[in-house]
Copies of this chain bind each other. A is one copy, B any other.
C-alpha cells in the first residue's frame, strides 16, 4: 500500500515550465503517492513567466529563483533545503545544472542523456560520490511492475542461461519533418548543438539500452552501430541499429528510431534463454508474455498473486486494473524516496538489487551513445564502450 507520508520530501525543479510535457510528468509522478512536495524552482528563463507558473503550482514566492546557480546557492544555505532537484531542461544544459546542485550537496534527478559526453557524466558521478548526494536518472520504464518481475525472473535464472536479447525503442513521433512546423520538442531534438548528432540514440536508445541492462544484468562488451537519417533534410540521425556482444558472449540487438512510421511509442524487449523466453512491450505494460521450451505462452498480468515481491510492492490497484506511465514514473520516485528519506532521517537504506537507475547508469548511457557514434564513424566496426562499470554503483548511493 501507499506508504503514509509522515513528512513529505521537499523537491525543487529546474526547467519543466509552462507547456513542457516532461516537467508535468515529473510533477504528476511525484504527486501520485504524495511523497514529495514541490517547493522551489526555476521554471524557465523568463523570470515573470517562471514566477507565474510557480504560483500556479503552489511554490512559495521566495523559493522561485532567477537561475539555477542562485537556486543551488540559496537552497543549500537553508536549513530546510530541498531534498532533491529535478533537472528537466534540454540536454545541453544538464551538466552545468546538475553539477551546481551536486556540488552544493543536493541530490539530483537528471533526465537522460545525463550529459553530452562521458567525461562530464563521469564528473557528475564523481561529485555525487564526493558530496554524498544521490544522482538518479529517470529511466522510468524499468520501474513498471512487470519489468521488475521480468528482471527478477532473469536474475533468478528462470530463463536458464540468457542466449539472446532483442530490444527496440522505435517511435513514429518524428516520422515527418515536425521540426519545420515549429514543434518545440522536435526543434531541439533535431538540433545537433543541443541533442547531438546521434540524437535518437541519446533520447530513445538510452532507454532501450538501460532496459536491456536492467532486466538481464548484462553489460555491453563491444558493439557495432549504424546511424541514419530517414527523414530528408533532418539535421540529426533519426534511426540507429546496433549489434551488441554482452557479457559472456551473449549477442544482442538494439533499434532506436524516431521515424518508425506508425509506431505509437515502440519500446519492446525480448529475452531468450536456454529454458524459456519472455517479451514485454510498453504499449501493453501490465502484461509479460513468457514462453517455455515446448512453445506454450503464458501471459502474466500485473496484480497476479503469484508475482514476485518486486512487482507486488509497486502495485497500487487490483488485478486487471491497469497502471500506466505515470504510475511507473511514480514508482521511480517511490524508490528514490526510500533512499532520500533514509538519508534525511538517518535510518538504514533498504537494500534492493532492483531499484532506481543512478548516475552510473546515466554515464553508461552516455558511453553507449558515444560508442555507437564512434562505430558508425568507423564503418560500423566493433567498438568497446567506455568502462563505466568500474565505478561502483554504490558510489552514488552510499551514505
A interface with B by C-beta (< 8 Å): 1-2, 4-6, 19, 21, 24-25, 27-28, 31-34, 56-58, 159, 163-164, 166, 171-173, 175-176, 224, 226, 228, 230-231, 239, 241, 243, 251, 253, 255, 257, 259-266, 272-277, 282-286, 290-301, 303-306, 316-327, 379-380, 382
Contacts and interface: CB of A to CB of B under 8 A. Distances in A.
B301 A264 contact: yes
Given A261-B272, A263-B320, A272-B262, A304 B293 contact: no
Given A24-B1, A175-B293, A295-B304, A260 B243 contact: no
Copy number in this complex? 4
Main secondary structure of the interface of A (DSSP, over half): loop
A92 to B, nearest CB: 22
A320 B224 contact: no
Nearest to A32: B32
A298 B300 contact: no
A164 B257 contact: yes
A331 to B, nearest CB: 12
Contact of A5 (B34, B58, B325): B58
B260 A21 contact: no
A304 B283 CA distance: 13
Contacts of A172: 277, 291, 293, 295
Contact of A317 (B25, B226, B241): B25
